[in-house]
Chains A and B, each alone.
Chain A
Amino acid sequence: MQDVVVIDLGGGSVKMGSARRPDNPKVFPNASAKQKGERGTFLGEAMLGMKDVGVLALRRPVDRGFVVGWDLQREILARALKSLLGGVPPASCGLVLTEPYHNLPALREAAVRMAFAELGFSSVYLSTPAPLSLRAHAARHPELPASQAGCGLVVDAGFSFTHAVPVFDWRVLPAAVRRIDLGGKALTNFMKELVSYRSINMMDEAYLLEHVKEQLCFVSQDVRADLAAARTRRSPHRREYVLPDGLTDTWGHVRTEEEAAAAAAAAQQAARGGGPPLPKQPVLVVNNERFMVPEALFHPSDIGMEEAGLAEAIAAAVQAAHPHLHSLLYSNVLLTGGTARCPGFRERLLKELRPLVPDDYELNIFLADDPALCAWQGAALLAASPLYSQLAVTQKEWRSRGAAALAKWDQ
């Protein structure tokens, strides 16, 4: 059987690998980066090798969740494919590629054109992430009745936005999908704005801040209580992030208690007149930002967005599905996407969603084993199964029938 390449094309990162090796996809930024004052650019996968991640100009092919910069996108993918496939020509491979919910016809055709004409694959299947994630989840929980029906409510908390996606019989119910226009990118930028105002100017450091956010943010279970705690002199939420030194510590790190104690001791020593003056290590101080940033996803109105939060979005999505499906959907809520990794995410959602669900319905919320990779893993399962050849469109069909050949994906 021919190999199938699987690409989950996210706004923040690309997940790419072969269906034959489902355990180790590459994950790299879907962007190109340029360092201040330098001429060279780092393209996609090459960004992983950067030794200096401060002050970058980023270009992303994805705008608001949709690929619009097709030249850049093609370059990023072609480069990574070369190293993935070695000498194997793409023409001997199929491709599973993810596309956004409610993709625009022109952009879907652009993706197919790229897959065939530019990357040179022999066949392609485009799918949104949610049904793929559900396949990976069902493979781990085959005992669930919803798994057998290919049914679940997939929360896709991605880079560009957050979706509540009801799926039945492995198909998205398009009329019931609900979108919040807030994703990991906006949360990172929100954090950037807060710390720049309160601690150190990080306005040009979004790429680094994304990393800081992933290290330090958590979802509060009780915002009032956590704010009250953060207000105290010895806030349990206060952390110091040691910024990169440009030499050995590429990403910087959360300051450990030992480091803080050592610094305090050295400062005392210096104050008493002994020892050399301290080398100043720039640290970013964060406190309530750690939980007030992810809070925006649960209450977008906190930052002035007139949009419902995640729990309400899920309830609205289920409500828009056929009444017969409501109980099955609530029995199998699956959390995916990078933002779902934020500690406390599931617990908080359970707390907010339960009151919105009728009492006699069971509510199960599952956090995917690897929320950011879940869709890729499901796509790899599909790519390795006989289903692939049923769903894929071949280069030949595309050439003879054009856009009409893609219509089967919507049935």
Chain B
Amino acid sequence: MADKRSLRSRKVSERMAVVDQAERKRVVQARLAALEEDNHREEDFGAGGSDDEEFEMPAEGSDAEEAPASKRKKKKVKVGGGMRKTRGMIAEKAKGPKTFRDFLEEAELERLPEGAPSYLTAAVGPPRTAAPRKFCSVCGDMSAYTCTRCGSRYCSRRCHAVHTETRCLKFMA
């Protein structure tokens, strides 16, 4: 166990000791996108001959981590009714139903006259109050420290240990 762990940390530190700002931002964005998803792992439900093919589609906005799983799944798309599906049809299915983002793009709201109220003008924008509050990424309490490798917050030696063990740079691995 201990061996495994040190091997892992060695591997990680070889690759990249510190995660840069852009990467940290990407991780935050991926996490926020996950908050809008309905199912954590839809592929769990695809197996066993579903009677509803749309359940076999990858979740929209599923992040890179899930890409291998959805590739596997694409191969599983059923060929129904004795009719072979063309690759185009499978591609369309795999893309899943149209999302709000698709409709928003098609609406071309940015071409509305300057100042016309729309979905875009309603966005509340950034907060005026200064620095965001800091909470421990492990226990949720107020936190005074930042992990030097990944930028996550922690409040105590204990939480830092848990963080290192369970989460730190795991999104990279």
Give the B-binding residues of A (Cβ under 8 A): 31, 34, 36-37, 39, 41, 57-60, 63-66, 68-69, 101-102, 104-107, 163-164, 174-175, 177-181, 185-186, 189-190, 192-194, 197-198, 203-204, 206, 223-224, 227, 230-231, 288-289, 292, 299-309, 312-313, 316
Contact = CB atoms under 8 A, between A and B. Distances in A.
Contacts of A316: 124-125
B55 A308 contact: no
Contacts of A288: 139-141
A185 B39 CA distance: 12
Given A101-B122, A189-B35, A66 B127 contact: no
B129 A227 contact: no
Given A57-B42, A312-B127, A69 B122 contact: no
Contact of A174 (B34, B51, B117): B117
B106 A58 contact: no
Interface in B123-147: 123-129, 132-133, 135, 138-142
B41, B45, B55, B107 pick with most chain A CB within 10 angstroms: B45
Given A57-B55, A102-B119, A288-B141, A190 B100 contact: no
15 contacts: A34-B55, A57-B44, A57-B45, A59-B54, A60-B38, A68-B102, A69-B97, A106-B103, A163-B122, A223-B133, A227-B140, A231-B141, A302-B133, A303-B32, A312-B129
B35 A186 contact: yes
B40 A186 contact: no
A39 B38 contact: no
Interface residues of B, number: 55
B50, B60, B132 pick with most chain A CB within 10 angstroms: B132
B8 interface: no
B103 A66 contact: yes
A204 B44 contact: yes
Contact of A68 (B41, B48, B51, B97): B97
Given A36-B44, A106-B106, A179-B122, A305 B32 contact: yes
B28, B50, B117, B167 pick with most chain A CB within 10 angstroms: B117
Interface of B: 28, 31-32, 34-42, 44-45, 48, 50-52, 54-55, 60, 97-104, 106-107, 109, 115, 117-119, 121-129, 132-133, 135, 138-142, 166-167
A406 to B, nearest CB: 16
Nearest to A289: B140
A223 B142 CA distance: 10
B37, B103, B133, B140 pick with most chain A CB within 10 angstroms: B140
A293 to B, nearest CB: 10
B106 A292 contact: no
B36 A64 contact: yes
Contacts of A36: 44-45
Contacts of A59: 38, 54-55
A308 B45 contact: no
A307 B135 contact: no
A227 B41 CA distance: 32
Nearest to A102: B119
A205 B166 CA distance: 21
B128 A190 contact: no
B129 to A, nearest CB: 7
Contacts of B38: 31, 58-60, 206
A227 B129 CA distance: 21
Contacts of B167: 197
Contacts of A164: 124
B126 A306 contact: yes
A340 B60 CA distance: 29
Contacts of A68: 97-100, 102-103
B43 to A, nearest CB: 10
B132 A301 contact: yes
Contacts of B106: 106
A70 to B, nearest CB: 9
A186 B18 CA distance: 29
B40 A206 contact: yes
Nearest to B97: A69
